[in-house]
Amino acid sequence: MGAWSDAAVSLLFGSSCVGCSMPGRAWCPQCDAELSQAVDPVILNCDPPVVVCCGYSGCVPEAVVGFKDRGVRTLGPVLGQVLAAGLLLVRAGLPDHLRPVVVPVPSTGAAVRRRGFDHTWELARIAAAAVDLPTTRLLRSGSRQDSAALSFAARRANLAGSMRVRRTGHGPVILVDDVRTSGATLAEAERVLLAAGYAVMGRVVVAGR
Ligand SMILES: [Zn+2]
C-alpha cells in the first residue's frame, strides 16, 4: 500500500503510526525498517547471560508501548522476531541436546486486564515458535503494584513475593521480558524459578538501557 492509500485509510479510520505519527498504518514501513536496523543483540556480562536485543531508543520505545499499551497488535510479530534474535544467541552458547523452555516474566493481573491481553506471553510464544523452542507460562504474578512509578528501593521491596511458580520442576529455561531497566524484575523471576528447581540458562529482553 502506498502513501496515498495509507492517507485514505487514515481518513477512513483515523489511524496514524505510533512511531512517527504519519497518517496511515499503526506501524509504518519506515519505522519498521528503522526497528529492523536497531536489532543488534548484545550479551551483558552476567551469569546466566542477559541478552538485550536492541537499545531503548529511536522508534523502539514507541514500538513497545504501541504494542502493549496502545493496542497495536500487529507489532506482536515484529517484536517477537526481535526477541527471537536474542533467543538464538543464548541457544548458540548451549549444548545441542538442551532444549530450554521459554518462560515470560508475568505482568500483574490488573495490567493484563487493562491491556486486554498478556503481552509478554504473546511475545514469548511468537519468539519461541520462530526458533523452534517450547514455551510455557511457568510464572504467575502475585499481588504487587505496577512498578513504573516506584523508586528503585521501593521496586525491590515491591518485587519480593511478586511472582510465583505455577509448578515445581526441573530442566533448562530461558526467561524473556519486553524491557529491562534495573534488571530487578528479571533477577526476581530467576530467583523464583531456581527455587522451584529449574535451571535458568539465559535472560532475553527486546530492549534495554
Ligand atoms: Zn512510523
Q: How far is the CA of 122 from the centre of ligand 1 (A)?
A: 22
Percent of residues, the chain, with pLDDT higher than 70? 86
Cα of 5 from ligand 1 centre, angstroms: 15
Grid coordinates belonging to 98:
538442551
Question: What average pLDDT does range 121-149 have in this prediction?
Answer: 88
Q: Using CA atoms, how far apart are residues 167 and 172, in angstroms rounded to an integer?
A: 14
CA–centroid distance, residue 27 to ligand 1 (Å): 6
Q: How confident is the model at residue 91 (pLDDT cuts 50, 70, 90)?
A: very high
The confidence score (pLDDT) of residue 148 equals 63
Assess contact for 118 and 112: CB atoms under 8 A: yes
- Whether 11 shows a pLDDT value over 70: the answer reads no
Give residue 173's pLDDT: 98
Is pLDDT of 108 > 60? Answer: yes
Q: Range with the lowest mean pLDDT among 84-88, 116-120, 154-158, 190-194? A: 154-158
Q: How far is the CA of 87 from the centre of ligand 1 (A)?
A: 26
CA angle in degrees (0–180, nearest 5) for 121-108-130: 10
| Residue, of 149 and 21, whose pLDDT is higher | 21
Instruction: Please give the distance, rounded to the nearest whole angstrom, from the Cα atom of residue 62 to the centre of ligand 1.
Output: 9
Domains of the chain in start order, with CATH, are 1-34 (no CATH), 39-208 (3.40.50)
Span from the CA of 50 to the centroid of ligand 1 (angstroms): 29
The mean per-residue pLDDT over the stretch 97-114 comes to 95
The pLDDT score that the predictor gives to residue 1 is 43
Q: How far is the CA of 40 from the centre of ligand 1 (A)?
A: 20
Distance (Å) from CA 89 to ligand 1 centroid = 28
| 97 C-beta neighbours (distance < 10 Å), count | 5
What spacing in Å lies between the alpha carbon of 28 and ligand 1's midpoint?
Answer: 4
Distance 149 CA to ligand 1 centre (A): 28
Cβ proximity of 137 and 103 under 8 Å: yes
pTM: 0.87
Rounded to the nearest angstrom, the distance between the alpha carbon of 125 and the centre of ligand 1 is 25
26-45, pLDDT tens digit by residue?
Answer: 999 999 999 999 999 999 97
pLDDT at 120: 98
CA 58 / ligand 1 centre spacing (Å): 11
**For the segment 151-194, what is each residue's pLDDT rounded down to a tens digit?**
767 766 667 778 999 999 999 999 999 999 989 999 999 999 99
29 C-alpha vs ligand 1 centroid, how far in Å? 7
In the reported structure, the alpha carbon of residue 200 is separated from the centroid of ligand 1 by a whole-number distance in angstroms of 36
Residue 14 has pLDDT above 50, yes or no: yes
